Structure 1
Amino acid sequence: MELSQLPLVFLLISNIHSGHNEDIPKPTLTVLQKSLLFSGDSVTLRCEVDQSWDVWEFLWSKNSNHESTEGEIKTINSVKVSDRGEYRCRARIGGHYTHYSEPVTVTIYDIPKPTLTVLPQSSLFTGDSVTLRCEVNQSWDHLEFLWSKNSNIESTEAATKTIKSVKVSDGGEYRCRAQRGGHYTYYSKPVTLTIYGKPKSKVTIKPDQHVFRGETVTLRCDMDDSEGVTSWQYSWYKESSASVFSKLQEHTFSFVTESDAGKYSCYGVERGGSLRSHRSNKVTLRVSDRAQAVLSVSPQKWLTEGDSVTLICKVYGSSTGWTFSWYTVSSGNRYHYELPSDSSRGAGGNYTVSSAALNHTGVYVCTAERGNLVYNTTYSNKQPLWVTGVSLPVSLIISPSRSQHFTSVFLSLSCEDQSNSDRWTVRRYTDSWWLEDCSSSDWGSQTGSTCTISSTSTSDTGVYWCQSESEENSHSVNITVHSGVILESPVHPVTEGETMTLRCIYEYASPPYIRADFYKDGSLIQNQTTEMIISNVSKSHEGFYYCKHPERGESPSWISVTASSRTSRSDGLNLVIIGVTAGLTVTFLIIVFSTLLWCYRNNKGERSQSPSSVSQHQNSSQTSEQNQSEAGNNTLLSGDAHIYESVDTTINNGKVTDCLSGPSEHIYAEIELRSTSLLGKTSKSSDTVYSKLTLVTYQGPGSSDVTCTRVK
């Protein structure tokens, strides 16, 4: 210290000793860095006295503990949590001290590790909402939070991160950390979000969506793509009601009634979680009064031995889960039914007889059942099935020619027989009266082989056929009588390859044909038309056709298609050709013989021969012999004897001569007459007549006309 300063120092000391405390200085303590520090940071504190004397010594204390002598600046290069506290300082000269500075608190934190939480849970379905929260234990202000997914680039966001409608792409590993200034916390533990496709609830109804009063019905709710969920709690709704009527996966109606009908839906919620499925589509449950079995026959009910026939049993409006049983009506009792011996063939709904025999004749019914608690339908309608040994050449002709008729109209049924060998009676089978003859009943009157119904009624619906006095039967025809709308359809089975036209008729319309929708086996095939035409009919067109008008009702009709019988049709055509040919041939042969005989008698003795004519005659004889041989080879019949004649003549200007090369016009005729069996079988006759006439006309040299005829 310089001498010039000594008086001041001594004066200060003197003042201190004399009690002038107000002159004792008070240092100012400052922190050069921020007071919020993390472990490892550096901090500097400065203790300043207003008098800038070099003689000062500085004393530092923490939390009022033991003082340490240090310089004016106190630096801690790497702070620890233990370095935090309240710091003070003072200065001294010799034994004289200044006042203590105001305390300064230094706060030091360990580097924290945030906690990352997920609400409601880390397993989610698409469309769900999720919230991630990053929390730091220390209550710091002005923190920034950094988020990363799958260790990719961080984004600065708030402490809470919300995804309102998650997608599968939102799945992954999330982490977060916080920062303040240039200081960062540790990373949180990662949290993995798993996103599943949201499952769709699905309703199924057993045994079927269309059930009948008294059946046991089960509604079941299932989840599609429910990966990640082991247990569901279900909620069932009916129609648009907001109330839940069941929380089971399966809800059963033990005895369903019409009041249970309606639209049902369901959804699922994860047990112990908040995952929720989509709500299912609404599925309609229909409940009818009583199941009715319907029996039909294809292709027809009237058969010849060896024909194939199928009885088809269906439950109207429902086709799932049924087991069918078949019965025949016991003879003498229309209300007693017996199982046919081969009824097991009809378990699937089709009872097929591949080769009909006489013992298959009878009246058939069917029933159906389904469910664990067996539910039975009523007996079906009765279907007669007749098998005859011979298919007779008689047809039942209906007028008007259609299978359906209105009530209170005139109806004619005629038995047409080409041979007219027997008197035929019209018979019928109806559900009301069973077997009846037209000639001995009050439903119709018969004149000859024609039965007339003066005024039809619904009780006339049934199967009609012709029966001879020897109890031979024709093929049957189905006739339906009712009011309203009918379908104009063919009376007899349609043959494959033919064209079929269907029309819808309303009895009170004029004209009667109306626009309607046409159905086959319950499916719409043509709408709003007056007629439906099917060209080139095949077996696939067989089925249950009806037309439907939205206001006037509908009319069913079974259309039967038969396989085309080319052989029988060809035989019939051959029969006609043979008959016509035989008649023409015989007539022509008689004319030729008469002409030859007349010519021979008038020209006897005038024939002369020349060498050239003899040669020509020999050639003609050789040709005749060759034709005889060909005719013999072409003969289709066998027999014990043959009648064969050959005549070679020439008519030339009114004279009978041999056939020469000289005439200007030559007519050569050859007629062939074969006697064959009508059925194309080998004849067993002892005699066979075979005649052939060939007519040939040609122009040659000369002026005369010559007709040469050879008859064999």
Structure 2
Amino acid sequence: MLRRLLLLLCGELGIWERAVAAAAGPLPAELGELLPRPVLRISSSQPLEGSSMTLTCEIQLPPQKRDVQKQFCFFRDDQMLGSGCRTSPELWIPNVWSKDSGSYWCQVEMVTLGITKTSVTSQIQVQRVHVSDVSLESQPPGRWVMEGDKLVLICSVASGTGDITFSWYRGALGLNLETKTERSLRAEFEITSVQQRDAEQYYCAADNGHGPILSGLISITIRSPVSHPVLTLRAPRAQPVVGDMVELHCEALRGSPPILYQLYHEDAILRNSSAPSGGGVSFNLSLTSEHSGNYFCEADNGQSAQRSEVVTLNVTVPDGNRSYHLTSGSIEGLLGSFGSIIFMALLLGYWLKRRAGRPSAGDLPRSPGSRVIQQSNYLNSPDALQLQSSYENVNVGSGDKIYSLVYHAQQEREPVVVGHMGTHVENKVFPDIYSRLRKAENIDSDYDDVM
């Protein structure tokens, strides 16, 4: 009997336990099986490199369970994303790259229930954009740079995603200068101080995993600053004179063309000239007296101007009496000096012939000459000298021209000698010949002029 009572009590107790469990609800394991799985929502299953992406973990709970405290966790393969689980069902990724491709899933933890639910995985393939339109440019622009300055070569692409590997090459054989990888559409290579050996052709290449794409060639010119120019004076003689043509040659022995030359005379610009292909220039001057002074030249090819040493030019002005050009005044002078002597000699010979009795048929009547006696003007010996003069009008040819011949003789008196010395008489004759052209009717006035 006791045994039957115990069995009855145990059966009633089992019924009671089942009733209590039914009133409390299902167990966590059983509840977890009843709740649905979360779903991972992705803004784009094939996002482009560099773009953003949003992950959302969604779960549908019964109305009586919606207030349960939850935590959301996001994973790529076996790696948790972000800084850990969060209360927000969303995860925003600002940029995704090709390395971010993989399997994504999320997890929901219901803290109060102690239940964890996991979503199914989703494959995300981040799309990479190939590089295109690779170009190379220089800084400073213009593809030329002064020797010693900095040169920057900028390689850029119009499009391309992900990590891009940039490479720079010099020369037709493609000597690699530098390679760098950047997550950017452009990169720079710098030469801090260029030299003449850096004057070459350059190109670059860009690659983001699909093969390198090359840019076009650019040529870099290295320009050298000009040296101090040399100014050279070239003249036809050691001492230039007015009228000479001289050449002033200015040349900078070093410097990249084009070069602008300027010639200075006493700190004022006299002339300028350009040498597009380098070398020197010449300035030709037809000398005047104002060209005397100091000269220097200046060379400039765009970096800094350089000046030469000073060259002094002395221009000699020739004496007018030494001029070799016969002007009307010089001809008159020659006729007045040498010509008069020659003419008088001819006239004298003609007069002597006339005196010999061979008169010319065309002679005009001439007035007879008369002798004029002049007294001595010496103060210390008023009678020491006796002057005698004579003249005669002579017509040497036909026409109205009359020539007057004047003879002048000076005679000393006989000195008185005391003692055994006898008397001595010495006559000195100093002939002077004068000539003047006058018309026949002016013979009397000619006589007055001669006297």
Question: TM-score band (shorter)?
Answer: 0.3 to 0.5
Higher helix share: 2
- Determine which structure has more spread, i.e. the larger CA radius of gyration: 2
TM-score (norm: length of structure 1)? 0.27
Which one has more relative contact order, counting CA pairs under 8 Å at least 6 apart?
Answer: 2
